[in-house]
Amino acid sequence: MQIQIFQDEESLHRAVAKELIEAVKTKPNTVLGLSTGSSPLGTYANMIKDHQVSGTDYSDVVTFNLDEYVGLDGTHSQSYRYFMNTSLLNHLNIPLNQTNVPNGTGDLKEACESYEAKIVSAGGIDLQLLGIGTNGHIGFNEPGTAFDTRTHVTQLLQETIDGNARFFDSAADVPKRL
């Protein structure tokens, strides 16, 4: 593992975007694991700018996102599908049917199994972008989640709900499961 320390947030975003862009240029059908929240927004902005200026081709890329709120469909303004579409995917030439976000509605057990099967069918994830929550959660896998856990529904800790309340009208509106 290589650890890098950056002078500022913008330098970090440029470097991370460069890694993702180089992965796509090296392997056009790369499978990217993407994340949501405020942390990757600068990275996504750099990827969009590169696509507009340099024309990096995403037409063969497949993406998988880490999570989705239970009970929100992809058209809800606080869903992670909506976030990804507006923050990145709608600005690249990647067909939306090659972008995957877990289904937070319907039969959740089936949705988890289906999502895991899609990842396996795609050959796994080549490069994963992650953020770490204030309590150390990764992809909303709250502290204490086993490392070998696959796609699953999780109950959010109150600390995580409170941290996400800024995106909703109130903490009461934040879905409690992911």
As annotated, the active-site residues are: 67, 135, 137, 142
DSSP 159: H
Please report the DSSP string for 102-137 in residue order. Answer: ---SS-HHHHHHHHHHHHHHTTS-SEE---B-TTS-
Distance CA 33, CA 128 (A): 4
Distance CA 140, CA 131 (A): 10
CB 56 within 8 A of CB 27: no
